[in-house]
Structures are given as structure tokens and as C-alpha cells.
Homo-oligomer: A and B are copies of this chain.
Amino acid sequence: MPVVNVQMFEGRSVEEKRKFVADVTRTICDSLGVAPESVRIMITDMPRENVAVGGVLNIDKAGK
């Protein structure tokens, strides 16, 4: 623990994910005072057609 599940838009490269998990793990360890080996991060790549805010799919949004 902690176990961290992150839902992000699909399209990130392996290099971006590599940096992301290293950075977030370091921050969690500093913030909570836990050991790195205890931090587990699971990324879910979300297709933009599967995410909606305000009842509108992300693919139908202008901007962000």
C-alpha cells in the first residue's frame, strides 16, 4: 500500500509512463513516508469515446 489506480486518456508513450510512475512514486514516498516497494501504480488508458463530463463524450468536446 498504497495502491494507486490512474485513469488517463490513451496515447501516452511508454517513456511518458516510465517518467510518470517514477515521479509519482517518489512524491508518494516523500509525502506519506512509505517505502518505494510498497507503492503500486496501475494505469488504465481510457479511450476518449469512453469518458464523459457533463453528459458529453470527450471526443465530442472542443478543446481539452
Contacts and interface: CB of A to CB of B under 8 A. Distances in A.
Question: What is the oligomeric copy number?
Answer: 6
B14 A9 contact: no
Given A6-B4, A16-B32, A44 B50 contact: yes
Contact of A1 (B8, B14, B16): B8
A55 B62 CA distance: 25
Contacts of A46: 1, 42
A31 B19 contact: yes
Interface of A: 1-9, 12, 14, 16-28, 30-32, 35-46, 49-60, 64
Nearest 10 interchain pairs by C-beta: A25-B55, A21-B52, A43-B50, A2-B8, A27-B27, A36-B54, A5-B5, A41-B52, A23-B31, A3-B7
